[in-house]
């Protein structure tokens, strides 16, 4: 059985390949060639540590991602990969970076499908662990001419802008406010841990595509109710089942408007039908995306 390290993940799982793998995983779910179980959590009695686990499978591979989280020590990810044909264990993957890359790829697939073809300005709120792969993926599916980033700490957003400008060869600049980052951008990404909305609906122009990927808890959201319920023409999710369990961005508005209905569709079935439509992709992350990535890494690294 293989043991695949974080360094091997970074050396072998490129963003172009991750985009292909994640897009195929969405197709497999839609066709019934894959199955996905939502994330579950074990809260440790009397303490802040949490155990998270999520599983999925397709005709080739199945597996489970397990990770712990703690406010002091952060999150620690592993993925266990098995062969579908005979159930034999194939690999254990150190999965911090694998998850980061496939999460960026999911936003890339959504942007490819839902953003306007001429969208060339990216407004990014958040400069943490997930933000860089969001930029990496979106830069591969749209011809970006400008990237603006805002996060709460000026030093972090300035450092992120310098680093990404050099790495991607793009004009990335730190914005002074979230509004400055978002207004006029054809593509917007929220990549934060906020419990409350990080932008206002009035900042979102007609034709904008929004990727909201920072939260997967029912008590947290990054988007305001009126953007989700009133202004957005298309609201897509990676999984409707998961969204009911984890998407505070979509479920909190239903508590504020008891007569409203859940209106999101799964990404594979979502389409933009006019240039002025506002589209949203609410990403929670699916284990089938991890299965696809881990299967590829196993095939690449096995001797």
Shared domain for 141 and 252, answered yes or no, is yes
**pLDDT score, position 226:** 97
In which domain, by residue range, is 162 found?
114-282
- Looking at residue 150, its pLDDT comes to 98
Answer yes or no: is 139 within a domain: yes
Distance CA 90, CA 110 (A): 30
Are 142 and 22 within one domain? no
Q: Which residue has the tokens 């579908």?
A: 84
Q: Are 160 and 258 within one domain?
A: yes
pTM: 0.96
What is the predicted pLDDT for the residue at 200? Answer: 98
265-293 pLDDT, tens digit per residue, is 999 999 999 999 999 999 999 999 999 99
Number of domains in the chain: 2
Considering the domain architecture, whether residues 192 and 72 belong to the same structural domain is answered as: no
Q: Both 171 and 190 in a single domain?
A: yes
Task: Report pLDDT digits (tens) over 20-55.
Answer: 999 999 999 999 999 999 999 999 898 899 999 999
104 is a domain residue? no
The pLDDT of residue 44? 86
**What CATH number is given to the structural domain containing 188?**
3.40.50.720
Asked, for residue 259, whether it belongs to a domain, the answer is: yes
pLDDT of residue 286: 98
Task: Give the model's pLDDT for residue 118.
Answer: 98
Based on the domain organization, do 165 and 71 belong to the same domain? no
For residues 120 and 67, membership in a common domain is answered with no
Does one domain contain both 172 and 28?
Answer: no
Average pLDDT over residues 236-241: 97
Give the model's confidence band at 215: pLDDT under 50 very low, under 70 low, under 90 confident, else very high.
confident
Per-residue confidence (pLDDT) for residue 111, from 0 to 100: 98
Are 145 and 276 within one domain? yes
The answer as to whether 131 is a domain residue is yes
Tokens of 123: 């407004």
- Short-list 14, 82, 64, 132, CA closest to 286: 64
Tell me, yes or no, whether 105 lies in a domain: no
Going by C-beta distance under 8 Å and a sequence separation of 6 or more, which residues neighbour residue 218?
245, 246, 247, 248, 251, 252
In the chain, pLDDT over 90 holds for what percent of residues? 97
Q: What is the pLDDT of residues 162-187, one digit of tens each?
A: 999 999 999 999 999 999 999 999 99
- Is the pLDDT at 303 greater than 90? The verdict is no
What is the rounded CA–CA span in Å between residue 178 and residue 112?
A: 24
**Residue 8 scores a pLDDT above 90:** yes
pLDDT attached to residue 46:
87
Residues 185 and 226 in one domain: yes
Residue 108 lies in a domain: no
Task: Give the pLDDT mean for 133-149.
Answer: 98
Q: Are residues 17 and 142 in the same domain?
A: no
Could you tell me if residue 106 is inside a domain?
no
Please tell me whether residues 69 and 145 are part of one structural domain: no
Domain-located, residue 174: yes
Give the separation between CA 171 and CA 185, rounded to whole angstroms: 14
pLDDT at residue 228 is higher than 90:
yes
Per-residue pLDDT at 86 exceeds 90: yes
Q: What is the mean pLDDT of the chain?
A: 97
pLDDT tens-digit series, residues 102-130: 999 999 999 999 999 999 999 999 999 99
Q: Are 206 and 141 in contact (CB under 8 A)?
A: no
């Amino acid at each position: 059985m293989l043991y695949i390290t974080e360094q091997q993940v970074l050396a072998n799982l490129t963003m172009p390949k991750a985009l292909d793998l994640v897009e195929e995983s969405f197709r497999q779910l839609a066709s019934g060639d894959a199955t996905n179980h939502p994330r579950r959590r074990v809260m440790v009695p009397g303490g802040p540590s949490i155990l998270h686990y999520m599983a999925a499978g397709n005709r080739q591979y199945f597996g489970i991602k397990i990770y712990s989280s703690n406010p002091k020590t952060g999150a620690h990810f592993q993925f266990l990969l098995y062969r579908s044909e005979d159930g034999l264990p194939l690999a254990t993957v150190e999965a911090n970076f694998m998850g980061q890359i496939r999460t960026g790829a999911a936003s890339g697939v959504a942007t490819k499908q839902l953003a306007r073809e001429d969208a060339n300005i990216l407004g990014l709120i958040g400069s943490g662990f997930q933000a860089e792969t969001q930029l990496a993926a979106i830069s591969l599916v749209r011809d970006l001419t400008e990237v603006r980033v805002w996060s709460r700490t000026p030093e972090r957003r300035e450092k992120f802008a310098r680093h990404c400008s050099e790495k991607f060869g793009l004009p990335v600049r730190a914005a002074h406010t979230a509004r400055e980052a978002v207004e006029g951008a054809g593509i917007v990404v929220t990549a934060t841990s906020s419990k409350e909305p990080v932008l206002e609906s009035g900042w979102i122009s007609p034709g904008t595509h929004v990727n909201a990927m920072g939260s997967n808890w029912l008590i947290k959201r990054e988007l305001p109710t009126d953007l989700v319920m009133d202004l957005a023409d298309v609201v897509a999710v990676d999984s409707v089942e998961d969204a009911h369990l984890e998407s505070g961005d979509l479920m909190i508005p239903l508590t504020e408007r008891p007569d409203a209905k859940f209106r999101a569709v799964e990404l594979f079935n979502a389409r933009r039908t006019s240039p002025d439509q506002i589209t949203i992709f609410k990403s929670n992350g699916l284990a089938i995306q991890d299965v696809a990535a881990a299967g590829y890494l196993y095939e690449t690294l096995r001797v």
